Chains A and B, each alone.
Chain A
Amino acid sequence: MLKIRSFKKGGIHPHARKSLSDTAKIQNLPKPEIIIIPMSQHLGAPAVVCVKKGDIVSAGQKVGSGESFISADVHSSVYGTVQDIQPIVLSNGIETNAVFIETDDISEPQTEFTYIDKDILERSTPQELLKIIKDAGIVGMGGAAFPAHVKFNIPKGKQAEYLVINGVECEPYLTADHRLMLENTEEILVGISVISKIIGAGKIIIGIEANKMNATRKFEQVIEEKRLPIKIQPLRVKYPQGDEKQLLKAVIGREVPSGGLPIEIGAIVSNVGTAYAIYEAVTKRKPVIDRVVTISGNAIKNPGNFRALVGTPIKVLIDAAGGFQEEPAKIVAGGPMMGFAFFNLEAPLTKGMSGILALTKSDLDFSSETACISCGKCVTVCPMGLQPTRLFRFINNSKFSDAMSLNLMDCKECGCCSYSCPAKIPLVHGFKYGKKMARK
C-alpha cells in the first residue's frame, strides 16, 4: 500500500455521519407506479424528447436524445406507456421537460440485461467502446453529471498519462460509493479497464479516503488475484478531496491550471459509480437506468443505500427507507455540503444524485447572519486559494467585474467557506449569484 496522502491547501473536516448508513447493504427497490424521466440530468444542453404521448417504451429504450456536443441520451428505466410530456422542476431547481411513464408489470417481457458479454473488452476498439458509452447515456455519477463520452474523448495533441479513479466520497452522510466499492469491486475494476483502454492511460490509481479501509483492502485483494496494473492510494480524510482538482493534487501532486481541465496536466478523473455504469453498459448493454443512492439523515427511520431506477419520485425512495421518523427541517438532494435543499418530494431521482438527506432541526444551525468580522477563516479553508471575504464584499455591492478579477470563476462552490464562517454569511450562495450576474 502506498503512503497515505492528502492535498495541502485549505479544506475542512465536517462531521462524517456516515455510520448511519455505511453498513447497510445496497437494496434493490421495486418499480414505482410512475417514472418521471427528466431531459436535463447532465451538464450541457438538455436532451430532446424522441417519444410521443401514448407510446409504449421498454426498459432501456431511448426517450431523449442528446444532440448537442455536450449532452447525453436519456433512457426509460421501465417497460410502460408514455402518459405525458411536460415541464417539471428538478430538485436542484432546474426546469426541464420530462417524460412521465406509467409502469406496466403485467405485459412486460422477460427481464433484460442478464446476458454478460465477457470478451467484449478484447474484441472492441476504443472508438467502439466510446460509442457504447455514448449510447448508454453515461454521465459522471459522482454528482457533477458531466457526459462521460465527452470527457473520455481526449482532444488532439493531449495525452492522458494518468487515470485517477475517484472513490473518495468526501461529502458527509453519503455511503453509496462506499457500498458499491465493497459489493461490486470486480465490476468496477472491469469498468476501469474499459476507461483505461479508451483513453490509453499509462498509470491507473484509485484514490480512497482512510475512513473506507475495508474498501481499500477489498480492492487490493481483487487486484492481487487478477494481477491488474492498478494502484490504490489511501487518502487522509479531508473535504473536498472528492473534487477532481483536490484529488489530482493529492494523488499525483499536480495542479490543474485556473480555468483548465485535468487533461491539461495529463490526467482523467472518473468516479467509481461511473466505472460501474460503464461495466454495465459495455458487458450487458444496459444504459444508465438505475443508480445507487444513499437515503440518510436523522429524520429518516431506516437510513440505507438503495439501487433505484432513475426517475423514481423521491417520495417513493423516502418511503422505502421507512419514511420520516420525525418532521424534517430540511431535505437535501446530494451531499450536505454541495447538495441542493428542495421542497417538492414529487421530483424524480436523476443520474447524478448520490444521496437524499432529511435533516432535523437539531442538525441545522438557524442562527441569523451577522456582519463579517474579517477573521479570515474562509481564506484559510478555501481549497482554491481564493479570498471569499473580499469576493463576497464585491458581489454584495454589485461590483461583479472586480469579483471576476479576483478569479470568482475558480470557485467551485464546495462550501468550505460558508461552513466555517462564524458570521453565517451565505458566501457560496453569493458566489453563485455573482457568477450569474457577471456572465450577463
Chain B
Amino acid sequence: MIINIISAFLSVAILGGLLGIGLAFASKKLAVNKDVRVANVEESLPGINCGACGYAGCSAYAEAIVIEKAEIGLCPPGGKESAEKISKIMGMEIEFNENRLVAKVHCNGNREHSAYDFAYRGLEDCNSAVLLFKGDKSCKYGCLGLGSCIKVCPVDAISKTADGRVEVNKEVCISCRKCVEICPTGVMQMIPYHADYYVACNSKDKGAVVRKVCKVGCIGCKICEKKYPEAGFDVNNFLSVVNYNSKGIDRQGAAKACPTNSICKI
C-alpha cells in the first residue's frame, strides 16, 4: 500500500521534473525577442482602439511606431500628452532650444478689418476653401482661419481666434514646419523665437489694392525701410519683411510710424 503511494508520488514528481526541464528549454529556445518599447508606447496611447491613426488599434500603432518608424503625432485622442511620452520612449525628445524658429501667422486681417467676397459654406479646411476663388477673403494672401494648420500640428500649438484667424503658441511650437507646408496662402511663416516685432501681413499686392480689402495690411509705403534703416525692414513686392539678422535698432519707432499698424509687437 505504502509502496503504491510512494511510486505514484515519485512518478508524478519525475514526470513533472522532466516536463519542467522541457518547458524551460523550450522557453529559452523558442523565445521571441519583443521590444520593450512597444509595450511602453502602447501604454502611453489612450487604449481606446479608435483607429483614427489609420492602424488597426493602439497596439498595432505602437508596433508601427517602434518597428516601421511610423509618425508619432497620429493619435488625435492622445494629443500632445501621448506624443510627448512616446517621443521620450523613442529617444526623440523635443529640445526647446532658445534659438529655434517658431511658426507665426503673418496676418491680422479679421472679420472687422478685412473685406470678404462671399459667404463660404463648406468643409472646415483652408485647402478646401481655396478651391473657390482662392478663399472667401478678398485678400488672397491672408489667413482664412479654417484651420488646416490646426489639423496637422502634432503638439496642438495652434488655435482659432474668435475673430476668424488662427494663432500659434510659440512656447509649445516644436518647429516642425508642418503648418507652413499645409498653409495654402503661405501666410504661416517661421520667425525666431526671440523675434520682437513682425510684419502682420503677407499681401504682395499694390498698396491701393491692399487698402481696398484690408485696413491693417502692409501697403509697401517704405516708411519703415527709409526712416529706420537700422531696424532691418526690407520692402519687396509691396510687402515689408523683417530681417532678423540685422541690428534691429528702433523697431518700436518703425511700428509707431507704420500708417496701417501692420508692424506688430510679439
Contact = CB atoms under 8 A, between A and B. Distances in A.
Closest 8 CB pairs of A and B: A433-B128, A429-B122, A426-B122, A343-B118, A93-B133, A430-B123, A93-B132, A432-B131
A436 B133 CA distance: 15
A89 interface: yes
B131 A93 contact: yes
Nearest to B125: A433
A430 B133 contact: no
A399 B54 CA distance: 8
Interface in B72-114: none
A397 interface: yes
Looking at B121, B123, B132, the one whose CB has the most chain A CB atoms below 10 A away is B123
Given A340-B132, A432-B131, 9 more contacts: A343-B117, A343-B118, A429-B123, A429-B128, A430-B122, A432-B128, A433-B127, A433-B128, A436-B131
Nearest to A91: B133
A375 interface: no
A402 interface: yes
A402 B52 CA distance: 12
Nearest to A395: B123
Given A343-B118, A426-B121, A429-B123, A398 B131 contact: no
B151 interface: yes
Interface in A274-326: none
B262 to A, nearest CB: 25
Contacts of A432: 128, 131
A426 B123 contact: yes
29 contacts: A93-B132, A93-B133, A95-B134, A340-B132, A341-B118, A341-B132, A342-B133, A343-B117, A343-B118, A344-B117, A396-B123, A398-B151, A398-B152, A399-B54, A402-B54, A426-B121, A426-B122, A429-B123, A429-B128, A429-B131, A430-B123, A432-B128, A432-B131, A433-B125, A433-B127, A433-B131, A436-B127, A436-B131, A437-B127
Interface size class of A (residues with CB under 8 A): 20 to 34
Interface in A327-370: 340-344
A371 to B, nearest CB: 13
B131 A89 contact: no
A396 B132 CA distance: 18
Interface string B129-158: 001111000000000000000011000000
Contacts of A89: 133
A396 B152 CA distance: 12
Contacts of B123: 396, 426, 429-430, 433
A398 B151 CA distance: 9
Interface residues of B, number: 16
B8 to A, nearest CB: 63
B130 to A, nearest CB: 9
A436 B152 CA distance: 17
Contacts of A342: 133
Contact of B128 (A340, A341, A344, A430): A430
Interface string A422-437: 0000100110110011
A344 B117 CA distance: 9
Nearest to A90: B133
Interface in A82-115: 89, 93, 95
Contacts of B134: 93, 95
Interface in A125-144: none
A426 B124 CA distance: 10
A433 B52 CA distance: 20
A429 B54 CA distance: 23
Nearest to B117: A343
Contacts of A426: 121-123
A358 to B, nearest CB: 15
B144 to A, nearest CB: 13
Interface string A379-415: 0000000000000000011110010000000000000
Looking at A340, A402, A433, A436, the one whose CB has the most chain B CB atoms below 10 A away is A433
Contacts of A93: 131-134
A102 B134 CA distance: 29
Nearest to A369: B121
Contacts of B122: 426, 429-430
Contacts of A399: 54
A436 B127 CA distance: 9
Interface string B216-237: 0000000000000000000000
Interface in B28-78: 52, 54
A340 B118 CA distance: 13
B192 to A, nearest CB: 29
Contacts of A397: 52
Nearest to A402: B54
A166 to B, nearest CB: 27
Contacts of A429: 122-123, 128, 131
A399 B131 CA distance: 19
